[in-house]
Amino acid sequence: MTELLDVLDEVGLLADRQAAYDAVFTREKTRSTGIGSGIAIPHGKCTAVKELVMALGVTKEPIEFQSVDDKPVTIVILLVSPLDQTGPHIQALAQISRLMLDEKFKSALEQAPSAEAAYKLLSEREAE
């Protein structure tokens, strides 16, 4: 998750990386966001962002994430949203969960050869 926070910070999407880190890891301590089937959706709400931001990571090797199914994850989708925007935060979590139920899409995402290819897959699917 720290790598994904670094990506958001490097492109200027976080006003305060530490606040985002604290929000995500505080949430993770209450209950793992490893939702099963190799997917984790760590998320947090804080003052570090003005709008919902997301970063996607696909690992070459599965990583332990204390998922609900006790299996490691290969897809990590990080969400950070403002404190006062609960609706978009919940909608994004639901949409991502639904999207990841599509095994064909999930497999294509895991096999994407680059970040650009993964982004294109997500963008095309969202446009449908």
Q: Which pLDDT value is given to residue 68?
A: 92
43 is catalytic: yes
Domain 2-127 has CATH 3.90.1150.10: no
CB 48 within 8 A of CB 14: yes
Q: For every one of its 128 residues, what pLDDT tens digit does the chain have, with 9 covering 90 and above?
A: 899 999 999 999 999 999 999 999 999 999 989 999 999 999 999 999 999 999 999 998 999 999 999 999 999 999 999 999 888 888 888 888 888 889 999 999 999 998 889 889 988 887 77
- CA 28 to CA 30: how far, in whole Å? 5
Residues written for the chain: 128
Strands (E), the chain: 34-36, 39-40, 43-46, 53-63, 73-82
Provide the token pair at 93.
């979590």
- The answer to whether the CB of 57 falls within 8 A of the CB of 75 is yes
The active-site residue out of 4, 14, 43, 100 is 43
Domain ranges across the chain? 2-127
